[in-house]
């Protein structure tokens, strides 16, 4: 087995491993409407950093993940990695760039071919990218990736098929398949939402261990703010295709500046009380369709602060941009006319 690398292949020192600027993804809707799935999102991910994108279903977080992978075509904006704009690459240049970014999908069974062995699944990225020319080299790389994913003994696990594995083991195979190329960045789209509690904890520990050992960065997609707080260095909260708050995880969770972030925190806390008779907080109303984004602040029809302040006109007419949060913490920004912690 080759030595465990101390740094992902293709990592450039200094700058971010991913820099997304003004990303827009629109789709054609019914009756000539436009679905504004992602509506101008910007963020950076530093080497060995975990950035979590958090929000309800339909907020655009998975569309961002798929756009970064170029599995969904962006309408506008830039996706910079390794000095290249992934949004503009095609053909061989795009394939080569994909060595730097790999993805872990939500469903560990659906993302694996049930007719292919674990070895065949994990070795495929090496074959596609022409890495490790000999059979012995490929076997060594696969065994290394399986060992990193805590699938041991690797020779026995490599001969298994997905139906012979537990849900947690299948997700570890998906992680091994992503890590076999030693990418600087892994996009993880709800990687633990379909696992039981014990398997979920193990997968999260594994991902954080790989970050610490290899310097791997993650774009971590989740609907659960509590999970994001445990895993991520920074959290970006999305609502209807826009980032409404971003900052260090401790700052966002300890002092949320946007009413939507606070609502997500309350929901996360209430999930622990679902089996009791205690009342559960529910965010009022339903998120509007991305084809009918409200004017002004897109959250104002559901915002308890908007109602409590007597429905200020600014919330109805102007979509706020990100600015410093009242906490004053470095890098903590919020898109709200009347953020929490600030006197209106």
Same domain, 290 and 173: no
Judged by average pLDDT, the poorest of 1-5, 87-91, 130-134 is 1-5
pLDDT grade, residue 287 (50/70/90)? Answer: confident
Mean pLDDT throughout 258-272? 81
Same domain, 276 and 198: no
pLDDT grade, residue 313 (50/70/90)? Answer: very high
Q: Is the pLDDT of residue 276 over 70?
A: no
pTM score: 0.90
Mean pLDDT throughout 244-258? 96
Q: Which of 198, 232, 266 is the last residue of a domain?
A: 232
- pLDDT at residue number 264: 92
Q: Which of 232, 255, 289 is the last residue of a domain?
A: 232
Same domain, 176 and 250: no
- pLDDT at residue number 260: 96
Please list, in sequence order, all residues whose beta carbon lies within 8 angstroms of the beta carbon of residue 61, skipping any fewer than 6 positions away. Answer: 53, 54, 55, 221, 238
Helix (H, G, I), strand (E, B) or coil at 53: strand
In a domain, 57, yes or no: yes
Same domain, 172 and 292: no
Same domain, 250 and 202: no
What's the chain's length in residues? 344
Same domain, 185 and 313: no
In a domain, 342, yes or no: no
In a domain, 22, yes or no: yes
Reported as type and span, the H/E element at residue 66 is helix 61-68
- pLDDT at residue number 270: 52
Structure tokens of 10?
């293709």
Q: What is the sign of the dihedral through the CA atoms of 66, 237, 42 and 38?
A: positive
Same domain, 79 and 227: yes
Same domain, 263 and 114: no
Same domain, 253 and 218: no
Same domain, 26 and 109: yes
Judged by average pLDDT, the poorest of 101-105, 110-114, 155-159, 252-256 is 110-114
How many domains would you assign to the chain? 2
In a domain, 4, yes or no: no
- pLDDT at residue number 13: 52
Q: Say which CATH number the domain at 189 has.
A: 3.40.50.300
% of the chain with per-residue pLDDT over 90: 79
Q: Is the pLDDT of residue 296 over 80?
A: yes
In a domain, 80, yes or no: yes
pLDDT grade, residue 60 (50/70/90)? Answer: very high
Structure tokens of 248?
């260090």
In a domain, 81, yes or no: yes
In a domain, 182, yes or no: yes
Q: Is the pLDDT of residue 231 over 90?
A: yes
Q: Which of 197, 232, 267 is the last residue of a domain?
A: 232
Same domain, 168 and 316: no
In a domain, 343, yes or no: no
What's the CA gap between 154 and 120, in Å, rounded? 13
Per-chain mean pLDDT for the chain: 90
Q: Is the pLDDT of residue 283 over 80?
A: no
Residue 292 lies in domain: 245-334
Same domain, 196 and 271: no
- pLDDT at residue number 30: 84
Mean pLDDT throughout 148-159? 94
What's the CA gap between 107 and 109, in Å, rounded? 5
């Amino acid at each position: 087995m080759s030595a465990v690398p101390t740094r992902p292949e293709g990592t450039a020192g200094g700058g971010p491993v991913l820099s997304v600027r003004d990303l827009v993804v629109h789709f054609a809707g019914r009756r000539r409407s436009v679905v504004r799935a992602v509506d101008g999102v910007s963020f950076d991910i530093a080497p060995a950093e975990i950035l979590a994108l958090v929000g309800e279903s339909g907020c655009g977080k998975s569309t961002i993940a798929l756009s970064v992978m170029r599995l969904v075509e962006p309408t506008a904006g830039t996706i910079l990695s390794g000095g290249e704009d992934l949004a503009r690459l095609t053909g061989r240049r795009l394939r080569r760039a994909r060595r730097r970014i790999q993805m872990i999908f939500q469903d560990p069974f659906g993302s694996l071919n049930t007719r292919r062995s674990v070895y065949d699944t994990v070795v495929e990225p090496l074959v596609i990218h022409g890495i490790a020319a000999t059979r012995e080299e490929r076997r060594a790389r696969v065994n290394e990736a399986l060992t990193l994913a805590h699938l041991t003994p690797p020779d026995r696990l490599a001969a298994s098929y997905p139906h012979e594995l537990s849900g947690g083991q299948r997700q570890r195979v998906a992680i091994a398949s992503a890590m076999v190329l030693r990418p600087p960045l892994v996009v993880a789209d709800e990687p633990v939402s379909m696992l039981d509690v014990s398997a979920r904890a193990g997968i999260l520990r594994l991902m954080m261990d790989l970050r610490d050992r290899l310097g791997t960065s993650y774009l971590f997609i989740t609907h659960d703010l509590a999970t994001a707080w445990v895993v991520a260095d920074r959290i970006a909260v999305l609502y209807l295709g826009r980032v409404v708050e971003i900052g260090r995880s401790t700052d966002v969770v300890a002092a949320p500046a946007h009413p939507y972030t606070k609502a997500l925190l309350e929901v996360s806390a209430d999930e622990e009380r679902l089996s009791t008779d205690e009342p559960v907080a529910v965010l009022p109303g339903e998120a509007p369709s991305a084809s009918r984004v409200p004017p002004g602040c897109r959250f104002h029809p559901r915002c308890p602060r908007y109602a409590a302040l007597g429905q200020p006109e600014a919330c109805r007419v102007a979509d706020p941009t990100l600015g410093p949060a009242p906490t004053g913490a470095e890098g903590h920004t919020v898109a709200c006319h009347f953020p929490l912690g600030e006197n209106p």
